[in-house]
Each structure stands twice: as structure tokens, then as C-alpha cells.
Chains A and B, each alone.
Chain A
Amino acid sequence: MASEIRQLSVFIENKPGRLSKVLKLIGESGIDIKALNIADTNDFGILRLILSDVDKAASLLKEKEYAVTITNVIAADVENTPGGLAGALSVLDTQGVSVEYMYASLSGTGEAAHVVIRVDDNEKASEALTSKGYKLIGDADIK
């Protein structure tokens, strides 16, 4: 059974002030941001967030007319040493899992970094990683 994390994505036009407006909304409602990543193109950006309360943030942003979506991603502890991340990715590669994007969380345990990974097949990716001794983590593990 894959241990999945629910990630909130927000469509943001590539214009000054748009990002801070969203982050301010989230902050003001007392929701904590545990990890984040932004993909940007000429016209738009996609803000991806791991939050302390995904549903609350989603409904809050929807109310303010933002286009949002919730996606299940996986997260793993990756050794905080040179080549640690490369090792985890090569496991996925070998299994033919393709990675759409990934990012590290804002916190870690010191020895390990929390890495959020968006793949095309969560089940397969989870199996591959756990079989090679990687620890998958859930929502609560990311502080």
C-alpha cells in the first residue's frame, strides 16, 4: 500500500504580486507550509504545496476564485549525503517509473532529507523504493 501525500497545486499567472497574495492567504488562515515548489513558464506558474491542512487551504482558495487541484504524491527520506538523491532516482529509473517533478521539503531530520516526488505510478514507485530500503513518509512525518 502506497503511502501517499496530498499536494495542493495552484494556478498562478506570471504577474507581479500573484504568488505573495496566495501565500498571504494561506498564512493568514493559520495553515503551515511544509514544502513548496514553483514551476514557471512565460505566462503562468504552478505553485505546489504540502500543507498542514490541504482541504482548508483548497476551499479557501476556491472561494477566492483560484484554480486549484489536489494530487497524490509520494515522499521519501533520502540520505543527506552526496549522491543520496541520485541513488533514489536510479531506483525509480530501473523500474521504469517516470518522474514528473520533485522537490525537497523545508525541514528534514538532519541525516535524511524529505523529498516529495511526483511520478506517473505511485504504487510502482513506492514498491521500488521500499524494496531498496527507502523509507516512505506520510503527511505527519513532514514537519
Chain B
Amino acid sequence: MERYWNQEIECMSREDMKKLQDERLVAQVKHVWDNVPYYRQKMEEKGVTPDDIRSTDDLYKLPFLSKADLRDCYPYGLLAKPLSECVRIQSTSGTTGKRVVAFYTQHDIDLWEECCARAITAVGGTKDDVCQVCYGYGLFTGGPGLNGGSHKVGCLTLPMSSGNTERQIQFMMDLKSTILCCTPSYAAYIGEAFKEMGYKPEDNCLKAGIFGAEPWTEEMRKEIEKSLGIKAYDIYGLTETSGPGVAFECSEQNGMHINEDNFIAEIIDPDTGEVLPEGEKGELVFTSITKEAFPLLRYRTRDICVLSRKKCSCGRTLVKMAKPMGRSDDMLIIRGVNVFPSQIETVLIAQGYPPNYQIEIDRVNNTDTFDIYVEMTAEQFSDTVKDVQKKEAELVGAIKTILGINPKVHLVSPKTIARSEGKAVRVIDKRKLV
């Protein structure tokens, strides 16, 4: 039998949901207009005032927000509540240059945790479950989000954070975890380690896994399901809107229901900004209609995907989004971390290398490999292997500082990487994710 955390909302008629969204949007636009001078100015430039927004039908009139706006406004420029009313920040993995810092009031945290509680309930979670959260805890939203959702549902929560796989498996076995939450690549890794330790899939008590924060394929889903003997579900979210739980998968396992009482989703043409009809592929845009502290209106996610209102067998009426099938910018997601090639370029220049490089990404044993080829220069070159390897290590360190993940750096001969005349091929992504 399908379980809901908040049946009234999750199964609300389209009509009632639209009414709820209309009311919340109108109030939210006024809240932003009154409290966020940056966005107000954007509205004024477009000649829009709160009076023009009477329902969700008027949403298209509002200006977009992008990652660049968030950078420009760092850290407080989009804050809509006094800091004294905020209780938490979370942050992105530090994308192009500056990190994005999102603020939360207690109310925001409660709503976010409810979204995660819905996701956990949708995979069959109840207060009788043992929920092992091995997303990273800290600034990253993964750990705190699922941790909060698990508390709300009343699961016994294991706040493991990521890493130390043997200990993860030990706890999983000793405390009889029933739900596993982590990135899909880590789930696959746990599955392998589990087997290596001599266990069979049926040896654990797990029944479901909630895996998100990076793109993954149906093949990977099957592999994880087989290796751990579970059902694997997707979850979607981004720090800018709250974190995981913006959308979650149900028993159908073919798309994620968006928590529409909190987020209005639109699909737009990434080039023209025009709103596309349901079923068409385009860039996903979110408007937060309940967030108090950091209420982003029409935030462009850069994720390319499709929305569907086809009737779902789980009984939920919330619109469904397909797995994102790519990005409308050059952002890469490597090991769950957002990476812009331009960040690497910045590091190279700062370290005295030419901005000619090639990034090669692949997925080996369900883990992303991340190789960067960089041209050696006469200035950086020395006659000892030790010094050249030190240069490589310095580059790795500088890139790790910016991205938070370790690349493998290979120095190659000068002028051997193609120059950018027109469009240089900077990225070779060998992962077959779509």
C-alpha cells in the first residue's frame, strides 16, 4: 500500500494546488519586493511590480535569477529576512569562484525537512525504520536534509556522513539499517565492498535507498539494487532552493514528484527564456513560494529536463520531472561536485600555466575518474623528476582547494593541446549517463 507523509498535499487536485500556488506566489513576490532590493531592481528594470503578479499565470513576467546573480549577491544580497531570524546556512561545493550561501529560518528548515520526510515515506519509510544517512554532513545539504527528514518520520537515524565504508557496512549489519541515503556512486561502492566482505545481498536488512546529488543511469540503478538487494530511488534538489527533497521518486521509479506546494517548476527554452509547454524538453526553473530567508524567484537550474502531469499509479498528483538529461551550460558534475571548466582555467593561469587544458572524465567501477591534461612550460620545467612531480602536486592541491575534489594532473608537452579557435574541446566526458 502506498504511504504518504502529507496525503492532503501530495494527492491534492490540480485545481486546489494551483489555488494554493497562486496565493503563495502573490505573497512571496510581495515579500521579495519589500525585502530584497536586488530583485526589486530587476523587477523594476523589467517594468513589473507585485500588482502585476496575480496568479501563477503571471509567473512568466518575473525576471530570472541565475548562478551569476547569486555570485554577485554573495553573501547577503538575496537575503529576505533579518539575520537574527535565520538559524542556519548551507553552501554549495564552491562553484565558479565564490560559493553560494543559502540562509534558512526555522520555518525554512521545517519545510525542507518535510520535503525529505515525504521522500522517505514514499520509499516505504516509517518510524519503525532504521535510516542510515551517508551523505556528507556539514555545509553540503545532503546529510542535514535527509537527517532532518528521517527525524521527522521518526526513523532511528544513523548520522554516518560519508566515507569509512567498512564502518558503514558494520553499522548497517549491526544496527539493521533498512534505508540507505547517499550518492548513487557511493551506494554502488558500498555494494561492491559489501560483496568483497563476503556478504550476500539478502544478508542485510535494507529495503530501500534514496540516492541523489549526481546524475546516474538506469543501469546503475539496477546494479545497486542487485548488489544490495534493495529498491533504489532518485531524489533531486539544489542548495539554492533548499537541498534534497525538491523532488522525489515514488514506487513507479520513473521520475520525481516535485513538491509543488513549495516550488513552482517551469521548463523554458534556455536560449530565449520562453516558457515551454508541458512535455517539452528545456531548462528547469524553480520559484520558491514558501521559503522565507532565501526565496529565489525563477531560478535557472541549468538542468535540462521534461515535466509530466501524466497520472501516476502512486496516487500523487504532484508534477513529475524526468531525470535531468544534461546541462544548458558547461557545468560538469564530477563525484557529486559541480565543476565549471573555467574554474580549472583560473587555477592554471594563477599557477603560471597556459590556459590550454583538457579534462577527461570517465566512470570506472562506478566512481568518476577526473584527469586534467596541462601543458608543461619552460618556466615550470626542471631537470629533476621530483620537481616536476612537485609541480603536478601543487596543481592538484590548488584545484582541490577550489573544487573540493582531487583531479589527476598530467603534464604534457607544450603546444600539444588544441588551441581554442572557435570552440575548443575542453572536456571529454566518457561517462555514459544518458
A residues lining the B interface (CB < 8 Å): 7, 9, 11-13, 18, 39, 41, 43-44, 46, 48, 62, 65-69, 71, 100-101, 118
Contact = CB atoms under 8 A, between A and B. Distances in A.
Contact of A9 (B381, B415, B416): B381
A13 B412 CA distance: 6
Contact of A11 (B386, B389, B410, B413): B413
B401 interface: no
B51 interface: no
A62 B415 CA distance: 11
Candidate in A13, A44, A48, A101 with the most chain B CB atoms within 10 angstroms: A44
B389 A67 contact: no
A114 to B, nearest CB: 18
Contacts of A39: 384-385
B417 to A, nearest CB: 11
Given A44-B411, A67-B377, A13 B416 contact: yes
Given A9-B383, A100-B384, 4 more contacts: A11-B376, A12-B413, A43-B412, A67-B376
23 contacts: A7-B383, A9-B383, A11-B413, A11-B414, A13-B412, A13-B413, A13-B416, A39-B384, A39-B385, A44-B388, A46-B383, A46-B384, A46-B388, A62-B378, A66-B414, A67-B376, A67-B377, A67-B381, A67-B414, A68-B381, A71-B383, A100-B386, A118-B383
Nearest to B380: A67
A65 B388 contact: no
Contacts of A69: 378, 381-383
B385 A41 contact: yes
A11 B386 CA distance: 13
Contacts of A101: 384
Given A67-B381, A67-B413, A118-B384, A41 B376 contact: no
Contacts of A13: 412-413, 416
A111 B415 CA distance: 46
A39 B388 CA distance: 11
Nearest to B386: A100
**Interface size range on B against A:** 10 to 19
B112 to A, nearest CB: 45
Nearest to B377: A67
A74 to B, nearest CB: 14
A69 B414 CA distance: 13
A46 B385 contact: yes
A80 to B, nearest CB: 26
Contacts of A7: 383
A44 B386 CA distance: 12
B385 A68 contact: no
A24 to B, nearest CB: 16
B384 A65 contact: no
Interface of B: 376-378, 380-386, 388-389, 410-416
A35 to B, nearest CB: 14
B111 to A, nearest CB: 50
Given A65-B414, A66-B413, A48 B383 contact: yes
Candidate in B378, B382, B386, B411 with the most chain A CB atoms within 10 angstroms: B378
A104 B415 CA distance: 33
Candidate in B381, B383, B410 with the most chain A CB atoms within 10 angstroms: B383
Candidate in B385, B386, B415 with the most chain A CB atoms within 10 angstroms: B385
A136 B174 CA distance: 70
Contact of B389 (A12, A41, A62): A41
Contacts of A12: 413
Contacts of B383: 7, 9, 46, 48, 69, 71, 100, 118
B395 to A, nearest CB: 13
A56 B400 CA distance: 40
B168 to A, nearest CB: 32
Nearest to B382: A69
A10 to B, nearest CB: 9
For the complex of A and B, 6 pairs with smallest distance between CB atoms: A9-B383, A67-B381, A65-B415, A71-B383, A67-B376, A39-B385
A43 B389 CA distance: 10
Candidate in A11, A12, A48, A71 with the most chain B CB atoms within 10 angstroms: A11
Given A43-B410, A65-B413, A66-B414, A11 B381 contact: yes
A100 B430 CA distance: 39
Contacts of A46: 383-385, 388
Nearest to B375: A67
Contacts of B377: 67
Nearest to B373: A43
A100 B411 CA distance: 21
Contact of B411 (A18, A43, A68, A118): A43
Contacts of B412: 13, 43-44
Nearest to A7: B383
Nearest to A18: B413
B215 to A, nearest CB: 29
A66 B382 CA distance: 13
Contacts of A62: 378
A62 B378 CA distance: 9
A120 to B, nearest CB: 10
Contacts of A65: 413-415
